[in-house]
Amino acid sequence: DAGITQSPRYKITETGRQVTLMCHQTWSHSYMFWYRQDLGHGLRLIYYSAAADITDKGEVPDGYVVSRSKTENFPLTLESATRSQTSVYFCASNVASYNEQFFGPGTRLTVL
């Protein structure tokens, strides 16, 4: 199906483990984004990418690593998960920076 998908939808891990959240879009959008949303709060930008092999930090990048080897994929890695990274993670994409962003369904991550 066309659109933006995230996997897994739910993940439980332990402190110190490495976790990778996947994001895939079928529109060939240039821009892709990762946000986190803590309980009861708005979204905060972690990283974004303007094109393959181009990434940049957002508001809260510490503890996260991203890569973008292909236009359609934008994985987010927590190299050593901490409890403070328990959150819902949303991926988004758009054609150009001034356009509307299309969001995925989210991944609910719990770090024990």
Site of interaction with another protein (CB under 8 A): 31, 33, 35, 41-45, 48, 50, 56, 58-59, 88, 90, 92, 97-98, 100-106
Name the phi and psi angles at 55, rounded to 5. -135, 160
Q: Which is nearer to another protein, 14 or 50 (CB)?
A: 50
Provide, rounded to whole angstroms, the least separation between the CB of residue 28 and another protein: 18
Contact, 11 vs 76, CB < 8 A? no
Closest approach, Cβ 96 to another protein, in A, equals 8
Q: Which is nearer to another protein, 33 or 64 (CB)?
A: 33
Whether residue 35 contacts residue 98, with contact meaning beta carbons closer than 8 Å, is answered with no
User: Strand 107-111 to strand 10-13: parallel, antiparallel, or no bridges (unpaired)?
Assistant: parallel
Query: Which residue number, 17 or 51, has a Cβ lying nearer to another protein?
Result: 51
CB nearer to another protein: pick between 22 and 88: 88
Tokens 């996260």 belong to which residue? 64
Pairing outcome for strands 87-94 and 102-103: antiparallel
- Minimum distance between the CB of residue 8 and another protein, rounded to whole angstroms? 15
Minimum Å gap between C-beta 48 and another protein is 5
- CA-based nearest residue to 76, from 32, 16, 10: 32
